[in-house]
Structure formats: structure tokens, C-alpha cells
Chain A
Amino acid sequence: MAASRIDILIDRLRSSVERSSLILEAAERQAYSCDGLTSHRAVPKLVIVPASREELIASVRAVIDVDLPWVARGAGTGLSGGALPDEEGVLVVTSRLKAILEVDPISRIAVVEPGVVNLELSKAVLPHGLYFAPDPSSQIACSIGGNVAENSGGAHCFKYGFTTHHVLALELLLPTGELLWLGSEGMDGPGPDLRGVVIGSEGTLGIVTRVVCRLLPLPEARRTFLAYFDSVAAAAEAVSDVVSRGITPAAIEMMDHLAIAACEIATGAGLDTTAQSCLLLELDGEADEVAQEFLSVRALMDLHGSSHVWEAANEEERALMWLARKAAFAAAGRVAPAYIVQDGVVPRSALPRVLEGIGRLGVESGLSILNVFHAGDGNLHPLVTYDPSIEGQEALAEEVAAKILTLCLEEGGSLTGEHGIGVDKVCHMPEMFTADDLTTFERLRGAFDPSGMCNRGKLLPTPRLCGERPGRYQPHPLEEAGLGERW
């Protein structure tokens, strides 16, 4: 059945898009079988890489026409399997749509295509003294469309917020084939904020075809430094103290011993690998204000027993520090062949306790867990490392990762800070939301996508998906509660 619909689709697409926009070869489709969450893989029946916005719209409409499931993909750096293809359907990749259509330095906005790489936008507007604030560690690779879909944050979101605070409007191709603009070029448009609904919806409400980004002026002054500590707890307490005194650093990032070591191996930035933990702090704003904050923060670091501090003497040193920090996830590949990165959020006050709990899970399971995270907003990124070639380790790692999430939830935290639910955490949704909440989400989704073909199986739990994890059976919580069954 599906196969023949695919054939009809391919036939139709041949006349409406460039030949090079279609990837038909099985081996070539394979390369798209996962995003940054490599433990989940599926090969789509067809990959479309449209050469233009017109091709994108025409081809997605063609897919909708033949009623096949489809998934959008940007750069495939997602960490929750959001861009995991549908085995029976089509993957639509925005990587060729990388034009910056307009930059207006006066109103400080840029209109971009969804495939524009995050960092490329900041580079392009730098001559105007502007930048795009959301800066996920993956910014060298990830697309703005992906940022919108995941409502991505970054090291600087503690002060500057997430993608949703920096996207004024977007053009969306609905799963019904309609094209519409949501939001407005001002900060406060009329009507319900549907733009806000789409941002963070993980590609389940349609495909974003153009984005109006808000740009910020570069700060007048910046000071960046690393403070080393003898324990993770001391660093965590220092963070709480800084924030409780009303200081809002542009970034407070924390790394534990293993993470420091991995980043240093990867980048040779000059980190002190003997330290148990370190904080990467950045203060920015007006020169006077920054100078004053710097003194207070330095004093607090000393108070909490920071052993020593490395302040960036110039832009190159600052770049090195960030290079090291942003390499963290991938650098985990230096110490183990694979890892699962978690994305829990906990109240800052609970940080020391949760970190201790994670440490315990590491010891019990025998798996190394690296900790690197946005400490300012309590967004944890424990990296549970494992070796997939050792039988059972992948499952063990998944189990440990799941326990970490439970730990976060028990502390009143959240399942995800910025990486999204995707397929990875979909089965945990009922732990955080009630059945009523989930039904409401379902209805919202249905309003955008009545046929349920757009990124199906992601974000919201379905008994089918949660019961049918490839390889291992994991009973879905709804099943366990007798509310659902496998089908």
C-alpha cells in the first residue's frame, strides 16, 4: 500500500522538483536515519531536500496529497529524536534553504529561511553590531528552523531567554497544506500567540518556511572567566549564591571533572584538568555595571572556596573557553564510544542534591556520567556514556538516563530544558502531565494536523510507540495503569 503511494508521489515530484532534490537510493537515504540521538534509527521511504522555498511547499503539499506520514529535518543535531524519520513516510530536509533574505539593522530584524545555520546568522549581522541571541552549543551546525521547533536555548539563555524570545514571526506550512504567517514584526501582536504555540512544538504542527528573527546589539562590555572548585557541590552553591543576590550573569555554565577532562582533550583550550568542577561565567552589559558585577562575583567565588580563576584576557581566550564548553557533548566521544545526554531541569536549590544522586547512579551502574550544564537555570545535561558493542550496555545506559529524569521530576523539575521530548522522552510525558493535560495537547495538535501525519509518534505518547521501542519492550505507564494497551 504505502509503497505504491510512494511511487505515485515520486512520480509527481519528478515533474515539480529538481531531480537532485530527491534522494531515492536506499544507501543514501540511510545517512538520514537519525539525528543526534543515534540510538533511534529509521530509514525513510523517500528523502526530499528541496532546492527552494517553492520546492519545499510544492513537495510537502504533494506528500500531504498522497496521505503519507512526513517528518521535517533541519541539520539533524537534535538530541531527542525529533527528526527521526518515519519508516513509512517521507523526510523533508531544509538544509539547502539557507538564504538570509533580509537584514534590517534599524528595526533589528532578519528574515531567514529555515535551513540557515544559527551561527551564520550572527556572523552575517556582525558588521551591523548585532547578533542572534539563542546560542545552543550546536550553533555551528543547527538550523534556525530546528531552533524554532525545539525552542532551543543556549549558554546565554539565563539572561536572554530562549528562541521564543527572539523570533517575532514565522511562516508555517500546515499539515493540511495551508500556508500562513504567525506572529507580527512587533513584540506584541493581536490575538492568541499561535507563534508561541508553534515554537517548541518539535515539528508536529507543520513545517516552518520562513522566520523573522529579532537581533540584539552586541553588549558594550563583556568579561568571561573560569572559576575552579574542589567539589561539584561547592560550585553549585556558588551558583545559587550569585543568583540569589540579584546578579544575572549572561551565562553560568558548570562542568564536572570528567567533562573538563573530555573538553580539554578535544580542544586543548588550557582547562585545569585536576579540578573537580568549574564554572564558566560571563558578565555583559554596560561597562560600569559589568565592572561592578565582576567584583561581586569574584568575591563570591572566593567565598565558596574557588581554588583559582582564569579570566579571559582577550577575545581569543574567551573564544577558547567557549569552544571548550560548546564541544562538551561531542567531546564525550573521546572518553566513550557513545552516550545518552539528558536534559532535565531542577530548581537551582536542588542542584547539589540531584548531582549527588546522579553521582550515585554512576557508581551503582558502573557507567561514567559526565556533567555539563546551564547552571544558571538549573538545566542539567548529564551524559551517560556507554559502549554499544558491549551487550546490554545501551539498555543499561537508557535505564540510568531514565532514572536521572525521575530524579529531576521528584525534585519538582521538568523532563526537558531545551532538547525536546521527541521520541526519547515521549514515554515519560505521563509522569509529568496528567491525562487531562495530555488530552488537551492532543486536541491542540489535532487542530493543526487533523490527519495526524506530521511527525507522528513524537512529543505526545501513544501506546503504540511507547510499547514498541525497537528491540526492547517497555511497558508504557498508561498500560501499566490499565489505561491503554498495545496495538
Chain B
Amino acid sequence: MGTKSQSLTEEFDAIAELSATCVHCGFCLAACPTYSVTSMENDSPRGRIWLLAQAARTKEVNDSLRLHIDRCIGCEACVPACPSGVRYDDLIDRARRVVNVGRSKRELLGRSVVVASFSRAQRFGSLVPSAQALARGVVKSSLLRPQLPRLPRVQALLEQAATIEPQRSMGTFTSLVPNERARVVMLTGCIASVFFEEVNAATVKVLNAEGISVIVPKEQGCCGALASHAGQHRPAQRAARALIAALDLPGIDAVVTNSAGCGAMMKDYGELLEHEIGSDAFSGRVVDVMEFLDRFKSVIRYRPMPREILYHEPCHLAFAQGVRSAGPSVLGRIPGLKLRLTEGPNCCGAGGLYSATQPELAHQVGEAKRDAILEAGIDLLVSGNPGCAIQLNSLLGDRVNILHPIVLLSRAIES
């Protein structure tokens, strides 16, 4: 108990300091997906920072704070939008931990069941149906009722998952190329490996075609992002340590991921593990697959694809990792391909488990995104994050085809 309140005091002090850099200019409002749909100050970065500053001053967490921190997607679009350099990314991590203090036991338990059901999908059976069954079970359990008042939303997500061909997880895999230009280890990702195996296969194919060897260790767990988003510090730390142990192989040049959400988390391990030995070095080796490909002069011959596609920037790539030009630049290697960005706030509302914990707001944010996409009138969209792909897929149905950029690249390779 003593250490708990001590660490809480530390969190409050840090929050006070971080929020003091906000000058209340409002420049972040337009970037925030939740403010865009509700137009309420408390659903904006500026409002949340105010609530947090207030909490830090009074050393008290009230329900309003908890509500509005829970309603934050964590997309971090407000970070680059802020001229004053407010580190909202750091603030929201702390805020999520702080608001768990005083949350009812019942609610806490419910949240961890949701986290566990998703993040262990792979280990529990490697197959979509089992992940689905587990999640359904979770949804049905009375424990979660208060948190998931809108079952249909979660079910939609799960049904969506089921429409994607269930495939087995990749298993151990080493694909060395002669005269390799680099050697990398690949994260399979817990949701991605179950729902989107094609993405992993395509990643290996494109990397290999560029002369890059790929190693995929069998035992990989969740990167810890889901736990971290739920403010579960210890479980997130445990996941991080386990993943470092699994992926930090000798002689590799990079840890490659095709999931923007996982990439953002792994690049933050240094922070999450309080810079314990090896954590910063590991984070430094993490790269998004598009970011990595962008570093090499391409040796691949791509077939021309004379058409326009929509490019969705996953928040966790653009804002959390600051990787913005790499995706378009790599896709630009496909002759004739033209990219267009959608108008309006960037976020699709997926945000890890956000669509499960805040179904209503996630749906509103999603609808705004859907309308912007449909307005563009283009039927193919690429997104470098599995979470976004699931969300967008369920929003758009078969009106717009959704692919991971790496899949588009792999399909465009001339055989």
C-alpha cells in the first residue's frame, strides 16, 4: 500500500509537470478524433490536460477524470499538433495508470479479461474460432456487462474477424537469402497472426525480395500494448520482458513489425521498463516494415498498377512513431500507383481495445472516418495496422477493399 501511494504521488508530480507546458491555445482540438465528434471540451486534449492538472493539484481522481481518460483513444494525434510541445503521449500513459486507482474491482477485473482474451488469442489456440469463442465467453460473462453495454459492437468486431479466412499461426520460420543486405527478426503480432496471416507472409516475401533475411521465432506473445492501454503497468512490463527475450536475437539488424500498434509499444519499451538494461537498445532496433524498407534502395521490379488508392495513416505509426513519409515513399515504387489521404481527423476509432470498451464513441469516430473514405470514392484502401484494418473493414463492408500496404507490395512483385 505504501509503495502504491508513493508511486501515485510520483505520477501526480509528473502529471503536474507535463501538463504545465499546455498554454491552452486549442491548436490540438482539430486533430482530436473524439473532440471532432462530440465538440465537448472534456473530450479534447486541452480539456483532458486540464482535468489531469486539476487531479494532480488535488491529488484526487474523480469519476469525470476517469470517464474522459477512458474516452481518449490514445491516438496521439494531439502530440504533433501541439506547438507548445506538450507530451500528451507520456501524460496519457500515466493518466491510464492513475485512473485505475479507485476503479471498482469488478470493473478492473472486467478490463483485464478483455485484455487477456485478445492478447492471448494466439497462445490459446492459434485459431480465430477459439479466440472468438473466448471473446464471446467474455462478452457473455456477467462481469463485463457494465463495461460492454453494447454487445453488438464487439460482436461485429468478432464477426468481422471470422469473415477473414482463419489461418494458422506461422510457427518457427527462417528465411535466409544469399548475399543478404540485412537480417531481421519479425514480430508476428497476436491479433495479426491470427486474423491476417497473409500480412506476415507478404512481409517475409517483400523483405526477402529486397535481399533481407527474416527470422521468425515461434514463441512470441503479445507486445503488451493492450495491457498498457488499459493502464495495467505490471502486466504490460511482463509482456515486454517476455517479448524482448523472444526477439532479441544475436546478429540481427532490426526487429521488424507490420503492426503499427505493436511497433509503437515496442519502441516505448525503454520508457515502460524504466530503462532497465537492454530495454532501450531493444526499442532502438524496432522498426516498422515500411520504415525499414524505406532505408534501402529497392532492388525489386514491381508491376505497374495505374490506379488511385487511399492511404490511411495509422495513428500509432504517424503520431506515436512519427513515421509519416516512409509508407507513401515505399508504395511509390509501384509504377503508376497514386496515393490519396482522407480528409478530417485521422483516427478510425479502433485504438486497441477502444472499440470494445468505448463502443459508442468508437462508432461515432468510425462513422466520421467512414464518411470521409466514402466521399473520396476510391474502392481500395491500405492501412499498416491490423487494428485499423479490422475496424475499417467492419465500417466499410465490401464497399472498400482494405489491404495492408505490404500485401499490396507483395502482390505487385513481378514474378
Q: Which chain B positions have C-beta within 8 A of A38?
A: 23-24
Q: Which chain B positions have C-beta within 8 A of A389?
A: 20
B256 contacts chain A at the CB level, 8 A cutoff: no
Contact A333 B39 (CB under 8 A): no
Contact B26 A141 (CB under 8 A): yes
CA distance A265 to B85 in the complex (A): 9
Contact B83 A266 (CB under 8 A): yes
From B47-55, B177-185, B397-405, give the one contacting chain A: B47-55
Interface residues of B in 40-63 (CB under 8 A from A): 40-42, 46-47, 50-51, 54, 62-63
A444 contacts chain B at the CB level, 8 A cutoff: no
**Which one of A27, A36, A119, A140 has the highest number of Cβ atoms from chain B below 10 Å of its Cβ?**
A27
Contact A30 B27 (CB under 8 A): no
CA distance A27 to B64 in the complex (A): 6
Contact B25 A75 (CB under 8 A): no
Residue interface mask A70-94, B partner, CB < 8 A = 1 = 0000011100000000000000010
Q: Which chain B positions have C-beta within 8 A of A110?
A: none
Complex partner residue of B27 from A33, A141, A388, CB under 8 angstroms: A141
Contact B84 A30 (CB under 8 A): no
Q: Which chain A positions have C-beta within 8 A of B51?
A: 27, 30-31
B82 contacts chain A at the CB level, 8 A cutoff: yes
CA distance A333 to B20 in the complex (A): 9
B325 contacts chain A at the CB level, 8 A cutoff: no
Contact A330 B27 (CB under 8 A): yes
B22 contacts chain A at the CB level, 8 A cutoff: yes
B65 contacts chain A at the CB level, 8 A cutoff: yes
Knowing A27-B64, A333-B22, A338-B23 touch, does A32 contact B84 (C-beta < 8 A)?
Answer: no
Smallest CB gap from B28: residue in A: A141
Tally of A interface residues using CB under 8 Å: 43
Residue interface mask B61-104, A partner, CB < 8 A = 1 = 01111001000000000000011111000000000000000000
Complex partner residue of A76 from B26, B82, B84, CB under 8 angstroms: B26
Smallest CB gap from B86: residue in A: A333
Q: Which chain A positions have C-beta within 8 A of B84?
A: 266, 330-334
Contact B50 A330 (CB under 8 A): no
B90 to chain A, nearest CB (A): 16
Smallest CB gap from B22: residue in A: A333
Tell me the interface secondary structure of chain B in the complex.
loop
Knowing A49-B40, A95-B39 touch, does A35 contact B24 (C-beta < 8 A)?
Answer: yes
Contact A31 B26 (CB under 8 A): no
Contact B54 A30 (CB under 8 A): yes
B29 contacts chain A at the CB level, 8 A cutoff: yes
B21 contacts chain A at the CB level, 8 A cutoff: yes
**Which one of B42, B65, B86 has the highest number of Cβ atoms from chain A below 10 Å of its Cβ?**
B42
Contact B25 A138 (CB under 8 A): yes
A232 contacts chain B at the CB level, 8 A cutoff: no
Q: Which chain B positions have C-beta within 8 A of A337?
A: 20-21
Smallest CB gap from A334: residue in B: B85
Contact B23 A332 (CB under 8 A): yes
B30 contacts chain A at the CB level, 8 A cutoff: yes
Q: Which chain A positions have C-beta within 8 A of B25?
A: 36, 77, 138, 141, 329-330, 333
CA distance A138 to B40 in the complex (A): 18
Contact A30 B83 (CB under 8 A): no
Contact B21 A141 (CB under 8 A): no
A108 contacts chain B at the CB level, 8 A cutoff: no
Interface residues of B in 141-179 (CB under 8 A from A): none
**Contact sample, A vs B, 15 pairs, CB 8 Å cutoff:** A27-B51, A27-B65, A30-B51, A31-B42, A77-B26, A95-B40, A141-B27, A327-B27, A327-B83, A328-B83, A329-B23, A330-B82, A333-B85, A334-B83, A334-B84
Beyond known contacts A36-B25, A93-B41, A333-B83: 4 more, CB 8 A cutoff:
A27-B64, A36-B23, A38-B23, A332-B84
Q: Which 6 A-B pairs have the closest CB atoms?
A: A333-B84, A330-B83, A141-B26, A327-B83, A27-B64, A330-B25
